[in-house]
Amino acid sequence: MTLLQVKGLQVRFAAPGSGPFGINRQWVKAVNGVSLSLTTGEVLGLVGESGSGKSTLGRAILRLTEVSAGQILFDGVDMAQGKRIDIERLRHETAMIFQDPYTALNPRMSIGDTLAEVLRVRCAIPASLIRQRVDELLTLVGLRPELADRKPGSLSGGQCQRVGIARALAIEPRLIIADECVAALDVSIQGQIINLLLELRQRMNLAILFIAHDLAIVRRLCDRVAVMYLGEIVEEGPTEAVFSSPRHPYTVALIQSIPHIDPTRPLLDATLPGEPPSPLNLPSGCAFHPRCRYAQPICAKTPPPIRDINGHRYSCVLGEPLF
Amino acid sequence: MSTPVLHVEDLSVIAGHGESEVTLVDRVSFDLAEGEILGLVGESGSGKTMACRALMRLLPSSNLRVQGKAVRLAGEDLLSLDEADMRRIRGRRLGMIFQNPGSHLDPLMRIGEQIGEGIRLHQGASKREARAKAIDVLRQVGIPDPLRRVDSYPHEFSGGMRQRAMIAVALGCNPQVLIADEPTTALDVTVQAQILRLLLDLRDQRGLSIIMITHDLGVVAQTCDSIAVMYAGRLCEHGNKLDLLAHPRHPYTAALIDCQPATSAGHAMLKTIAGQPPLLDALPTGCRFNPRCLQQGGQCTQLLPEMQATAGAHRVACHYPLPMGASS
């Protein structure tokens, strides 16, 4: 069942303009016509370089950022035009996990109180049952219930991230948006959090939008993956199809840049020259063409066609697989 | 191997005094040869950065003390130097770059001046000479259009460019050893590949020796010659990269390699290391890894294992090292 469907979503921010009183105002197109869908129980990975608009897209879906155009259908209701009551419902059924576990929690509140607050405000649970539910949530994410009286400062990064996940799960959401939720953690702890998400997904049939820049983790965790570049999704499809036969030159470069633990594999020469251009001034035609080694004259003129091979979609003039 | 450029013997960093004394880095020893890239890996809080800052004597607090038998840079003992002499070494013969170039470059100073400052201070160059040298270094680190960029401010650079600029600042005086503290952690994978390539090229061209602090074993595997693994303030294994990754002898190294989310497919659970690193003021008795270790013997909870040579230059601090050839 399709839980979330995003159609042609655009988010733009005003950049300080030049001229008197900033009269020549410019707009940053952070998300530029993105479409994607997510079914119940599915994990969709969203990858791309910093500044590609991954986080903005995640926040826009939860209406934490103003949407400029497009539709966000959650359960068939368009949240982009949603009334206050619709957005209330959206936030009852969706939750977000943030990158930095320390700053996402209130340092002056014990983690038990943090969880209790969510339960009291969102779930209308009788006060007498709250303590019990807090203990259940902590156990669910693998923390000892005794930790409920501790403040975030006395917990480790991995423990704080588990609290962040417990808080997201408190409202029993149907959709979780996890924004780089393991990027700040050590590898040994990263694994624990990823395993927890895998387990919870199975147990609770959660849909997860997993925003990350670590492709190795995405490959392990996600059913499908979408690659973003400068506010657009350039390739999207089943994880294995995208990783084993990437079609878009940008995806190829991303996959080749993953540092591999096999010491006999040499470091490749710069897989992708340069850095993403400013989103203030997007290149014409295909936004990737200035960095693309396969660029043809037509790439600078017209946006590339969207091709679809058994649900593996990509937008590029090249028809043949690259490797 | 000829005499090492850098010889570190029993380097310790101690915080506090008397009863409340905590050892943050405990008797770390290693050698670094000319043109060698040493990867220093370990979880956060394991003392990687602290050990390297102790080498530079750039400790973040006056409450911290450095002890050790010897730290010799090309034969000169750094531990016996006073602060004024140490200043001559820092920047000129020992360079350091950091994880976050944005916060380690002066935002109000042009890039060229930041590179030139060290050159004028250490080499007595004139302003004009320093500027010419700065342009030259910017070109070497792959900044396009260095004649114009030399007058830019850090905020005009992108993240990858800023990291290149910081490398240029560190290289201004031709240091023998460069300490790179998580130089690519804050960068995107594609830019990370560019910076790693740059460091390898600099090593090949100048014979620069590099200590690369990182937590990413993938980065280490692709760039370093040797690897040293730290856990809870102590070195637990040190050896040639190929040896150490193929045949880790310390259970912690083996576990660390196992829990990489290798680029293999499938929804199988990731391997993890149960528990967490110990707090340095509440260390377990015996081996510091013993509460999380899967292969324990009688001595593990009794005696702190010391580094011992196994085969060749491979050293390990474990009472019951994994057998050779037990690849993970």
Residue in this structure with the two tokens 């919870």, named with its chain if needed: A200
- Residue B75 has phi, psi (to 5 degrees) of 90, -20
A230: DSSP letter: T
Residues A216 and A255 in one domain: no
Mean pLDDT, chain A, as a whole number?
87
Q: Residue B141: inside a domain, yes or no? A: no
Cα–Cα distance measured from residue A272 to residue B189, given in angstroms and rounded to the nearest whole number: 10
Q: Is B245 on the interface with A (CB under 8 A)?
A: yes
Answer whether B261 sits within 8 Å of A220, measured CB to CB: yes
Answer whether A272 sits within 8 Å of B190, measured CB to CB: yes
Residues A217 and A117 in one domain: yes
Cβ-contact B292, B275 below 8 angstroms: yes
Please name the residue ranges forming H helices in chain A: 54-61, 84-93, 111-118, 127-140, 157-170, 187-204, 215-221, 239-244, 249-256
Q: Residue B37: inside a domain, yes or no? A: yes
Other C-beta atoms lying within 10 Å of the C-beta of residue A218: 23
Which of helix, strand or coil describes residue B76? strand
Q: Which chain A residues have a beta carbon less than 8 Å from that of B256?
A: 187-188
User: Residue A158: which pLDDT band, with cuts at 50, 70 and 90?
Assistant: confident
Residue A49 has pLDDT above 70, yes or no: yes
Residue A9 has pLDDT above 90, yes or no: yes
Q: Which chain B residues have a beta carbon less than 8 Å from that of A257?
A: 189-190, 192-193
Of A184 and B220, the structure prediction assigns the larger pLDDT to B220
Interface of B with A in 177-236 (CB under 8 A): 188-194, 196-197, 200, 215-219, 221-223
CA triple B315-B321-B326, angle to 5 deg: 105
Residues A308 and A232 in one domain: no
Residue A88 has pLDDT above 70, yes or no: yes
Q: Which chain A residues have a beta carbon less than 8 Å from that of B262?
A: 216, 261
Structure tokens at A273: 């020259």
User: Which among A211, A244, A277 is the end of a domain?
Assistant: A244
- Which pLDDT value is given to residue B327? 46
**Helix H or strand E segment including A16:** strand A2-18
Answer whether A275 sits within 8 Å of B161, measured CB to CB: yes
Which of helix, strand or coil describes residue A135? helix
Cα–Cα distance measured from residue B163 to residue B182, given in angstroms and rounded to the nearest whole number: 11
Answer whether A156 sits within 8 Å of B194, measured CB to CB: no
Q: Residue A24: inside a domain, yes or no? A: no
DSSP string of A39-99?
ETT-EEEEE--TTSSHHHHHHHHTTSS---EEEEEETTEESTT--HHHHHHHHHHEEEE-S
Residues A291 and A230 in one domain: no
Residues A176 and A223 in one domain: yes
Q: Residue B99: inside a domain, yes or no? A: no
The residues, ordered by sequence, that sit 6+ positions from A6 with a Cβ below 8 Å of its Cβ are: A34, A35, A36, A37, A61, A70, A71, A72, A73
Answer whether B189 sits within 8 Å of A187, measured CB to CB: no
Reported as a single tens digit per residue, the pLDDT across B218-269 is 899 989 999 999 999 999 999 999 999 989 999 999 998 888 876 555 567 7
Q: Residue A163: inside a domain, yes or no? A: yes
Residues A230 and A299 in one domain: no
Residues A145 and A196 in one domain: yes
Structure tokens at B28: 């770390």
B66: DSSP letter: E
Q: Which chain B residues have a beta carbon less than 8 Å from that of A180?
A: none
The residues, ordered by sequence, that sit 6+ positions from A132 with a Cβ below 8 Å of its Cβ are: none
Q: Residue B261: inside a domain, yes or no? A: yes
Report long-range pairs for A110-114 (Cβ below 8 Å, ≥24 apart): A110/A148, A110/A149, A110/A150, A110/A151, A111/A138, A111/A147, A111/A148, A111/A150, A111/A151, A111/A152, A111/A155, A111/A163, A112/A148, A112/A149, A114/A163, A114/A167
Residues A206 and A290 in one domain: no
Interface of A with B in 176-235 (CB under 8 A): 186-192, 194-195, 198, 213-217, 219-221
High-pLDDT (> 70) share of chain B, %: 96
Residues A167 and A289 in one domain: no
Question: Number of folded domains in chain A?
Answer: 2
Cα–Cα distance measured from residue B150 to residue B131, given in angstroms and rounded to the nearest whole number: 8
Of B191, B216, B263, the CB nearest to A275: B191
Q: Residue A272: inside a domain, yes or no? A: no
Q: What is the CATH number of the domain that holds B283?
A: 3.40.50.300
Reported as a single tens digit per residue, the pLDDT across A256-286 is 888 887 777 777 766 787 777 777 788 888 9
Answer whether B256 sits within 8 Å of A187, measured CB to CB: yes
The residue of chain B with its CA nearest to that of A185 is B44
Q: Which chain A residues have a beta carbon less than 8 Å from that of B245?
A: 261, 263
Nearest CA to CA, how far is B243 from chain A (Å)? 10
CA-wise closest residue to A99 among A173, A164, A27: A164
Q: Residue B324: inside a domain, yes or no? A: no
Q: Residue B325: inside a domain, yes or no? A: no
User: Residue A1: which pLDDT band, with cuts at 50, 70 and 90?
Assistant: confident
Structure tokens at A57: 């897209």
- Which pLDDT value is given to residue B328? 44
Of A190, A194, A254, the CB nearest to B190: A254
CA triple B39-B43-B45, angle to 5 deg: 110
First to last CA, chain A: 34
- Which pLDDT value is given to residue A204? 86
Answer whether B219 sits within 8 Å of A189, measured CB to CB: no
Answer whether B159 sits within 8 Å of A259, measured CB to CB: no
Answer whether A253 sits within 8 Å of B43, measured CB to CB: no
Answer whether A263 sits within 8 Å of B246, measured CB to CB: yes
The CA R_g of chain B, rounded to the nearest whole Å, is: 21
Structure tokens at A126: 């009788």
Residue in this structure with the two tokens 């960029």, named with its chain if needed: B149
Reported as a single tens digit per residue, the pLDDT across B267-318 is 677 888 888 788 888 889 999 999 999 888 888 999 999 999 887 789 999 9
The residue of chain B with its CA nearest to that of A186 is B43
Residues A159 and A221 in one domain: yes
Candidates B143, B197, B267: best to mutate against A (most CBs of A within 10 A) is B267
Q: Which domain holds residue B214?
A: 6-93+175-316
Answer whether A158 sits within 8 Å of B276, measured CB to CB: yes
Sign of torsion, CA A320 A279 A182 B277? positive
Of A156, A243, A271, the CB nearest to B276: A156
Cβ-contact B97, B183 below 8 angstroms: yes
The residue of chain A with its CA nearest to that of B262 is A216
Q: What is the CATH number of the domain that holds A217?
A: 3.40.50.300
Structure tokens at B40: 């220093």
Q: Is B43 on the interface with A (CB under 8 A)?
A: yes
Of B190, B263, B272, the CB nearest to A219: B263
Q: Residue B43: inside a domain, yes or no? A: yes
Which of helix, strand or coil describes residue A34? strand
CA-wise closest residue to A270 among A287, A289, A257, A251: A257
Residues A226 and A131 in one domain: yes
Q: Which domain holds residue A321?
A: 246-259+285-323
Which of helix, strand or coil describes residue B166? helix
Residues A250 and A203 in one domain: no
User: Which among A214, A244, A274 is the end of a domain?
Assistant: A244
Question: Number of folded domains in chain B?
Answer: 1
Q: Residue A138: inside a domain, yes or no? A: yes
Residue in this structure with the two tokens 């953690």, named with its chain if needed: A185
- Which pLDDT value is given to residue B149? 92
Cβ-contact B230, B206 below 8 angstroms: no
Q: Residue A219: inside a domain, yes or no? A: yes
Q: Which chain A residues have a beta carbon less than 8 Å from that of B223?
A: 267
Sign of torsion, CA A282 A287 A293 A298? negative
The residues, ordered by sequence, that sit 6+ positions from B250 with a Cβ below 8 Å of its Cβ are: B229, B236, B237, B289, B316, B317, B318, B321, B322
The CA R_g of chain A, rounded to the nearest whole Å, is: 21
Q: Residue B159: inside a domain, yes or no? A: no
CA-wise closest residue to B188 among A239, A187, A213: A213
Answer whether B245 sits within 8 Å of A187, measured CB to CB: no
Cα–Cα distance measured from residue B224 to residue B217, given in angstroms and rounded to the nearest whole number: 10
- Which pLDDT value is given to residue A116? 93
Reported as a single tens digit per residue, the pLDDT across A186-219 is 787 788 888 888 888 888 889 999 998 888 889 8
The mean pLDDT of B171-199, rounded to a whole number, is: 88
Nearest CA to CA, how far is B300 from chain A (Å)? 22
B71: DSSP letter: E
User: Residue B2: which pLDDT band, with cuts at 50, 70 and 90?
Assistant: low
Cα–Cα distance measured from residue B164 to residue B146, given in angstroms and rounded to the nearest whole number: 12
Q: Residue A193: inside a domain, yes or no? A: yes
Cα–Cα distance measured from residue A246 to residue A233, given in angstroms and rounded to the nearest whole number: 14
Reported as a single tens digit per residue, the pLDDT across B18-72 is 888 899 999 999 999 999 999 999 888 888 999 999 999 888 888 899 999 999 9
Answer whether A157 sits within 8 Å of B44, measured CB to CB: yes
Q: Residue A110: inside a domain, yes or no? A: yes
Reported as a single tens digit per residue, the pLDDT across A92-150 is 899 999 888 788 899 999 999 999 999 988 877 888 899 999 999 998 888 888 889 99
- Which pLDDT value is given to residue A323? 58
Q: Residue A253: inside a domain, yes or no? A: yes
The residue of chain B with its CA nearest to that of A43 is B267
Candidates B157, B190, B294: best to mutate against A (most CBs of A within 10 A) is B190
Of B191 and B200, the structure prediction assigns the larger pLDDT to B200
Mean pLDDT, chain B, as a whole number?
89
